[in-house]
Structure 1
Amino acid sequence: MNGSVYQAGRGPHRVRSAEGDSHRLRSTVPVDQETSSAQGANLPASKRPRVAHLLHSDSSGGGPVSVSRMLKHFHSTQDQVMLAGDRGRIFATCQELQIPFYQLPLETKGKAILAGFWLLIWQLRQLRPDILVVHGQWAGPLGAVAGRLAGVPKLIYVARWPAFYTSWDLLRVVRNHLSERVPCRLCDWTVTLSESNRYQYFIRRHVEEGRLLMIPNAISPEDRPTAEQVAVFRRQYEWSDEHCNVVSAGRLSDQKRVMWLVQSWPRVIQRCPQARLWIVGDGPRRTYLENLARELGICDTCVFMGEKASGMVAIASADVVAMTSVYESRGNVAMEAMLCGRPVVASDVDGVRDTINREVDGFLVRPGDIQDFANRLIQLIEDPALRQKMGAAGRRSIQRYDVPLVMREYEKLFAVALAQS
């Protein structure tokens, strides 16, 4: 198959870890426990454990960002391989680090079932990884079955997009149950990104508690935009210091429920005419949201910026960040806002409530409560001191998700997997 961008340059292998099976995994990120999984840094490339990562789409969202961080962190200790349905941020990371990247027809359900699944089995048999990490959604069931058929010793399922949150009709209930049940049963471990998600998998009995872990997304201070980037952004989009700028960043889909934010905005500008709403991102609901904004008569204070604007720079340039998702696996936007020292008003839903400390670094609002959401935005818009206080608290709180601390948990998981393979 000619899907690889770079050639690994060596044959298949098997590696066993020197650590025993007694190594215990925990569902939290310890800050004082030493790990020894960096041993691979002292090994020649040909003897490092081969770890393959599978993601159905590399186009956008928090998944590619998180996978890219993993690839960078383990670049010196593992022989890594990436398989994905298209090319985006991860592809750029693989080019930078010269990690083999295999593009397979996985980006849509039809392509994945008709062609991608069989090509994936073939590719895994050629690569013979020691560990296959499948990252959420369609990569979950397809990757788990393909990994077992290809004889991969250990499989890890990272549940980045829990399907059961969209069980809105009988067909979705059955489909979503299978799409989560299959990878949870076939993989050796299931990793959730929040304790809320971990609890949901546990009560649904998708996976035994001993094989169910929680490891959050990581974020690095290096990701914070510079003051110069913020200044350039504000000049480019003519943001005035006289206005209080509220930013919503993310895909405009049903999950994000940006309509709640748009519906709350007339109440905000009635009280705070100096406020401006900037919606960053694109998606299937954009036309509906633009029409809704016109119907509400808020187009002069509500701007749809599309994907041309950098979400992270927009967040760093904002005074307040709004997040109206109906569910999240973790909530990268909230984490990015806290990293940039910006207070957040968000829906009180799984994944988000695990990140935001209520009324410390942000406000949590009952999903769909338009009036309360508007009230919380007004409270922050009218009180610069409160914005500064909450932003500073967020910067302190987000340190617990620093890359070395989070990746230490994956180091332990990989060490156990290699010891048992």
Structure 2
Amino acid sequence: MKIVHVVYSMEMGGAEMLVAQLSRLQQKKGHDVTVCAYSKLGILGERLIEDGINTHVMGEAHPAKTVLRYLRLFRKMRPDVVHCHNPAPTLQAALGARLAGASCVLATRHSLVSPPYDTAAEIKFNLVARCLDWIVGICDITCNNLRGAPLARLDQIVRVYNGAAPVQTSASVLRDDNFFTLLFVGRVAAIKDLGTLLKAVSIAHTKEPRLRLWIVGDGPVRASLESIARDLHLSDVVTFWGEQMQTERFFNAADAVAMSSTSEGLPMSLLQGMSLGLPAVVTAVGGMKEIVDLSGGGLMSPVGDPATMAGSILRLIEDPVLRAQLGTNASETYRTEFTLEQMESAYARLYRSGRRPLTDDERP
């Protein structure tokens, strides 16, 4: 099949990493894959080009002009499948894909889409969704929220769990068994509420001085978080590693994954940690709650509650039997539900179905 993925950019981010991994696997399976970014190529786009995947930037323009650009591109390319990722790329490309005769046009909503809805934005999306065959939610709660949005087409919505390539087990020069290492990997943005995680680490560190936290990623609130860490006297406890293309050494040196988001879909870093059998300490929101409930692979705390999160961290440190069991649960559930191959197979079934209703056996 000739498959086109449409994204806003290919800068570092969870959805962008997923698109990159999915594109590589689809290419490996013999498909002709193209990635179209509206805004910026980004480091992930550069790597896709190095891997021989056609990746290019459409260029920012007036919305109507962007729609026409995609229509011309698709009429030239004649893709079988146009796969849009998130609302803006869907608004830009779905109509052109349908008019150009693509046999399957679908959109994946990678964010949680929590109520209260942005009513105008959801109405606009669901009007354009008339051009789509499928709207994919990346977890059950995302699908439920999509169904409650204004003008939603219930028969279009289907769940495909995110999948992630496994982190390869290897020795890491960063590992030090004298410490218990919590790892956050992701965009350093306000919605991640890393201030709560820093406060939790501060509380737990007073009882367990072996604790340390690594924050791998960059973003708009990094400077303020570094200031909070200094104010909490955590300069020797917390390391801000910045954006890293190769994160395997961090996962292999960690003892647990930690996320304190106020809203979250299904983060790639959580799945990567699960692939290595790392337990998770997370807030009970969105896809994270769904996955921890499903797997039994972590401990949860309410949003914005550093004291409860600190208690979860201390439980992991003080109870190696619990830690091992949670890790085993995580790795087993990753293998049965969240591999990259399972996600690719689910999308392939949607691609082949076009507008035909799925049978129970075909449904992801």
Q: Settle same-fold status: TM greater than 0.5.
A: yes
Report deviation, 1:384: 2.5
1:280–1:112: structure 2 CA closer, same or farther, 3 Å change rule?
farther
Q: Secondary structure at the match of 1:291?
A: helix
Please give the secondary structure, in 2, of the residue aligned with 1:227: coil
Distance 1:332 1:399 in 2: 14
Q: How far has the Cα of 1:212 moved from its partner?
A: 0.8
Paired residue for 1:92?
A: 47
Residue 274 of structure 1 is matched in structure 2 by 210
Residues 309 and 417 (structure 1), Cα distance of their counterparts in 2 relative to 1, 3 Å cut = closer
Instruction: Check whether the contact 1:349–1:367 (CA below 8 A) recurs between aligned residues.
Output: yes
Q: List aligned pairs for 1:20-419, cutoff 5 A.
A: 49-75=1-27, 76-85=29-38, 86-96=41-51, 98-106=52-60, 111=61, 113=63, 116-148=66-98, 150-162=100-112, 164-165=113-114, 173-178=118-123, 180-220=125-165, 223-228=166-171, 230=172, 232=173, 234=174, 240-308=176-244, 310-357=246-293, 360-400=296-336, 401-417=338-354
Q: TM-score, normalised by structure 2?
A: 0.88
Deviation at 1:121, TM superposition (A): 2.8
Is contact 2:104-2:351 (8 Å) kept?
Answer: no
Paired amino acid for 1:130: D
CA contact (8 A) 1:144 1:182 kept: no
Task: Write the distance in 1 (CA, Å) between the matches of 2:49 and 2:108.
Answer: 20
Q: What amino acid is aligned across from residue 415 of structure 1 in structure 2?
A: R
Asked whether the 8 Å contact 1:137–1:179 carries over to 2, the reply is no
The 1-side partners of 2:245 and 2:11 are apart by: 16
Cα deviation per residue 1:205-238 (whole Å; 9 max; x = unaligned)?
A: 5532221110111223xx323323x2x3x1xxxx
Which residues of structure 1 form unaligned runs of 5+? 1-48
Q: Tell me, what secondary structure is at the counterpart of 2:209?
A: coil
Name the counterpart of 2:361: none
Asked if the contact 2:283/2:303 (under 8 Å) is kept, the reply is yes
Greater CA radius of gyration, 1 or 2?
1
Which residue identity lines up with residue 347 of structure 1 in the other structure? T
> What SS is found at the alignment partner of 2:264?
coil
Query: Who is 1:16 aligned against?
Result: none
Count residues with an aligned counterpart: 353
Tell me the alpha carbon deviations over residues 57-115 of structure 1, each in whole angstroms, 9 at most, x when there is no partner.
1111122222223223332443322211414324423542x333232125xxxx46386
Give how far 1:279 is off: 1.1
Classify the secondary structure of the residue corresponding to 2:313: helix
Tell me the percent identity. Answer: 22
Q: Given the two structures, how large is their TM-score scaled by the length of structure 1?
A: 0.77
Q: 1:116–1:105: structure 2 CA closer, same or farther, 3 Å change rule?
A: farther
**In 2: Cα distance, 1:58 partner to 1:195 partner:** 26
Separation of aligned partners in 2, 1:346 and 1:364: 5
Q: Which runs of 5+ in 2 are unaligned?
A: 358-364
SS at match of 2:345: helix
- Counterparts of 1:112 and 1:57 in 2: how far apart (Å)? 17
The Cα shift of 1:287 comes to 1.0
